[in-house]
Amino acid sequence: MEIPYNVEERQDTGMFNGKLGIWLFLASEVMLFGGLFSAYVFLRMGDVTGAFNSGSSELNVPLATFNTLVLISSSVTMIMSWVSLKLGEQKKFKQYLGATLLLAAVFLVVKYFEYTAKFHHGIFPETSTFFAIYFTLTGLHMIHILGGMIVIFYFLVPGSKMMNIEPERFTNRIEIVGLYWHFVDLVWIFLFPVLYLL
């Protein structure tokens, strides 16, 4: 049985079903991270020990700035992969999507070095309320990066067969992955100043 509205638009929503689906998922993600940002505000307002000021001063701002630029670049390569598909340039699509995967890996490697440096200095989530929320927020964000990488890898290698069989449906799938990836970038845009700079 054919699944309806995975290419053609529904009249009532004006879009294919997958797109509304990813937006509903992203809405739940907004609330997930929103809840944790709210916890950050709560802990910061109740911080009488100065854990937040001393904690954020121990974080590596140059590395995080570099990682911010890496993630922004990956958002551009992601959207360029979708643009390439729209223009029927399959080779460029693979190059851009491959670049996105590589940049995501760079982000995780940098984060690995940041985390291990903290562990070597005896800093763990239990160290203070600041580091508890720091590891929770950045850890959850890293899981999202990892999840995105798995999906991107799928569409780059095994899932790319659909590109020639059902090109329009495949393009829609890449648009959906892109929406997720830009959201992950969006979360980091707020995480970076809140955790590292304030």
Partner 1 sequence: MSKHSVEDIKKSVKVYIGVFAALAVLTVVTVAASYLDLSFGESFFLALTIASIKGTLVAGYFMHLFTERTAVLAVLGLTFFFLITIMFLPFMAFTDQSAI
Contacting residues toward partner 1, per CB under 8 A:
9, 12-16, 19-20, 23-24, 27, 30-31, 34-35, 37-38, 41-42, 45-46, 61, 65, 68-69, 72-73, 75-76, 78-80, 83, 86-87, 172, 175, 178-179, 182-183, 185-186, 189-190, 192-194, 197-198
Q: Judged by CB, which is closer to partner 1: 31, or 143?
A: 31
Q: Least CB distance from residue 119 to partner 1, whole Å?
A: 25
Q: Judged by CB, which is closer to partner 1: 78, or 123?
A: 78
Q: Least CB distance from residue 183 to partner 1, whole Å?
A: 7
Q: Judged by CB, which is closer to partner 1: 65, or 116?
A: 65
CA 89 remoteness from chain centre: 25
Q: Judged by CB, which is closer to partner 1: 4, or 35?
A: 35
Burial readout 51-74 (b: 16 or more C-beta within 10 A, e: otherwise): bbeebbeebeeeebeebbebbebb
Q: Centre a 10 Å sphere on the Cβ of residue 42 and count the other Cβ atoms it contains.
A: 12
At 127, list the tokens.
């160290």
What's the Cα-to-Cα distance from 12 to each of 9, 141, 175, rounded to whole Å?
9, 34, 20
CA pair distance 2, 163, nearest whole angstrom: 18
Q: Least CB distance from residue 1 to partner 1, whole Å?
A: 24
Q: Least CB distance from residue 12 to partner 1, whole Å?
A: 8
CA pair distance 43, 51, nearest whole angstrom: 10
